[in-house]
């Protein structure tokens, strides 16, 4: 089984998000709904950089995954799905208390849900031989 194009596409999107998060943290923060004043703080920039590094790391190991190690590949696909599901859960819970974050849920939520579904489908298709 080859890694599906959809999974590679999400890896490319992770690269884009990672680069933006590191190079232009205030842009990403504003997309999530933070006011411009909060988006430019050192804490927001550092948090954005951590997020960016995580995204780049997930993209790198996903695109480098091999079908020769099906157990590792399946785990990696599940980790990608879990990461996006937990991101969406945390953002959604915070948006309940902080309405300005609802924009981030509306903007990123559908993509996160699609990522979860596609990564889990791909994980189910990985053939593990005894």
**Is 33 a domain residue?**
yes
Residue bearing tokens 């889990």: 120
pTM, to two decimals: 0.85
Assigned domain for 30 exists:
yes
Q: How many angstroms separate the CA atoms of 102 and 80, rounded?
A: 23
Angstrom CA distances, 96 to 24, 33, 81, 90, 107, stand at 27, 13, 23, 10, 15
Residue given tokens 């998060």 in the structure block? 21
Query: Quick check: helix, strand or coil at residue 33?
Result: coil
Secondary structure of residue 108 in the 3-state scheme? helix
Summarize pLDDT for 52-98 with one digit per residue, the tens: 999 999 999 888 877 678 888 899 999 999 999 999 999 999 999 98
Number of domains in the chain: 1
- pLDDT tens digits for 1-27? 667 788 888 899 999 999 999 999 888
| CA 56 centroid distance within chain | 9
Decide if 31 contacts 102 (C-beta within 8 A).
Answer: no
Is the pLDDT at 34 greater than 80, yes or no? no
What local confidence, expressed as pLDDT, does residue 70 receive?
84
Residue 50 clears pLDDT 90, i.e. is over it:
yes
Residue 115 confidence class, pLDDT cut points 50, 70, 90: very high
Residue 130 lies in a domain: no
User: Inter-axis angle of helices 70-97 and 102-125, to 10 degrees?
Assistant: 160
> Which has more confidence, 54 or 28?
54
Domain span at residue 47? Answer: 5-125
Q: How far apart are CA 93 and CA 58, in angstroms?
A: 24
Does 22 reside within a domain?
yes
Q: Give me the pLDDT at residue 67, please.
A: 67
């Amino acid at each position: 089984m080859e890694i599906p194009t959809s999974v590679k596409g999400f890896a490319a999107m992770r690269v884009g998000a990672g680069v933006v998060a590191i190079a232009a943290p205030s842009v990403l923060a504003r997309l999530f709904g933070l006011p411009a004043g909060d988006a430019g703080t050192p804490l927001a920039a550092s948090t954005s950089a951590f997020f960016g590094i995580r995204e780049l790391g997930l993209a790198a190991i996903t695109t480098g995954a091999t079908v020769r190690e099906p157990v590792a590949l399946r785990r990696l696909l599940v980790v990608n799905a879990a990461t996006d599901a937990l991101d969406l859960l945390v953002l959604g819970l915070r948006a309940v208390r902080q309405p300005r974050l609802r924009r981030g849920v509306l903007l990123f939520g559908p993509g996160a849900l699609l990522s979860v579904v596609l990564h889990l489908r791909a994980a189910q298709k990985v053939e593990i031989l005894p």
